[in-house]
Amino acid sequence: MVSEQTVIQIRNLTKKIGRKKLVDSLTFDIKRGEVFGFLGPNGAGKTTTIRMMVGLMSATKGEVIIEGKSIAHEFEQAIQHVGAIVENPEMYKFLTGYQNLVHFANMVPGGIKKERIKEVVELVGLESRIRHKVKTYSLGMRQRLGVAQALLHKPSVLILDEPTNGLDPSGIRELRDYLRNLAQNEGISIIVSSHLLSEMELMCDRIAIIQNGKLIDVKRITELVQNNEEEITAIFTVDQSQIAIELVKKHMVNAYISMTENGFQIMIERERIPDIITLLTDNCVRIYEVKHITKTLEDKFLEMTEGEKIV
């Protein structure tokens, strides 16, 4: 469950190289236990933002505050709350998954107990293969092992840049389910950058849309895809398509209407839909279905970025 507590604060974050601004004054908050997505066309500044969030790149201006600590001025205290996979997870393929985790655990200040290693292995569902060599793992399993590695030190924030790259549909769904489980049951805030709009729609609670380094908007997925417009598109399935279209054209002069295989599609004010139903039934046209076409996240994204595609 998403908490109202803020875990990450991004304030006027800017990255400038020469005269070019890669990231321009980004400001937003990320809550505890939410899956937060970064969406934007290729070159929009998503990866640059993530690199500044984890300290791999310095900001020209602004700051990133994680659990009350500044990445710029209190790096060690801030980064201890973060687990991240910025590129594809790199593992020693000749070692087993377990040996890789032990190797990484030994590099963490203070060490990691074996109980915690066992815990994260169960968390990502690798119990049956953790003693096998990584070279035998599928790409999806390697991604899950990477997530396990990132979770070893019990971070409150998990940052993933394009975590579904190279995964087949089954692997994508598998990873999505694990990430949703981590957010909901472990209270971990997960930040995901991806170009797969359909996956972001299924995975994220909120999404930040970035274009040309600037923040266009931050909205909940439900707010982005719900249709509250006064004018909607509806599909009517009827038994007498031609008669129905002629009736509607005659009585709904300003409506845009087109024939479909089993009826017609119409763009009209929502409040006039009941009038169309009454008109058709009064004229003995049988209505089998009225379906409201819901806009997808992709539709909304293309509207907000004026058609610029994600790559």
Tell me the CATH number at 250.
3.30.70.120
115, 174: one domain: yes
105, 253: one domain: no
User: Rounded mean pLDDT of the chain?
Assistant: 85
Instruction: Read off the CATH number of the domain in which 70 is found.
Output: 3.40.50.300
96, 53: one domain: yes
Q: Determine what percent of the chain is predicted with pLDDT higher than 90.
A: 37
The pLDDT of residue 310 is 46
Q: How confident is the model at residue 53 (pLDDT cuts 50, 70, 90)?
A: very high
Q: 241 in a domain, yes or no?
A: yes
User: For residue 257, is pLDDT > 90?
Assistant: no
User: For residue 153, is pLDDT > 60?
Assistant: yes
User: For residue 15, is pLDDT > 70?
Assistant: yes
Look at residues 196, 225, 254 and tell me which one is the last residue of a structural domain: 225
Rg (CA), the chain: 25
130, 254: one domain: no
Tokens coding 267: 């763009």
73, 207: one domain: yes
User: For residue 122, is pLDDT > 90?
Assistant: no
Tokens coding 166: 């190279």
User: For residue 301, is pLDDT > 70?
Assistant: no
User: For residue 298, is pLDDT > 70?
Assistant: no
Q: Are the C-beta atoms of 188 and 33 separated by less than 8 Å?
A: yes
Domain limits at 73?
A: 6-225
Predicted structure pTM score: 0.70
- Average of per-residue pLDDT across 7-35: 93
The span from the CA of 37 to the CA of 269, in Å, is 32
Q: 301 in a domain, yes or no?
A: no
- Average of per-residue pLDDT across 230-243: 85
| 169-186 and 139-151 helices, crossing angle to 10° | 20
- What's the structural domain count of the chain? 2
Lowest mean pLDDT among 107-121, 207-221, 250-264: 250-264
**Who contacts 195 (Cβ-Cβ below 8 Å, separation ≥6)?**
42, 162, 310, 311
43, 192: one domain: yes
70, 151: one domain: yes
User: For residue 227, is pLDDT > 60?
Assistant: no
247, 119: one domain: no
- Average of per-residue pLDDT across 73-78: 92
Q: Determine what percent of the chain is predicted with pLDDT higher than 70.
A: 88
| Cα-to-chain-centroid distance, residue 140 | 18
The pLDDT of residue 81 is 92
Q: 284 in a domain, yes or no?
A: yes
Q: 311 in a domain, yes or no?
A: no
Q: 86 in a domain, yes or no?
A: yes
- Average of per-residue pLDDT across 158-177: 79
The pLDDT of residue 268 is 80
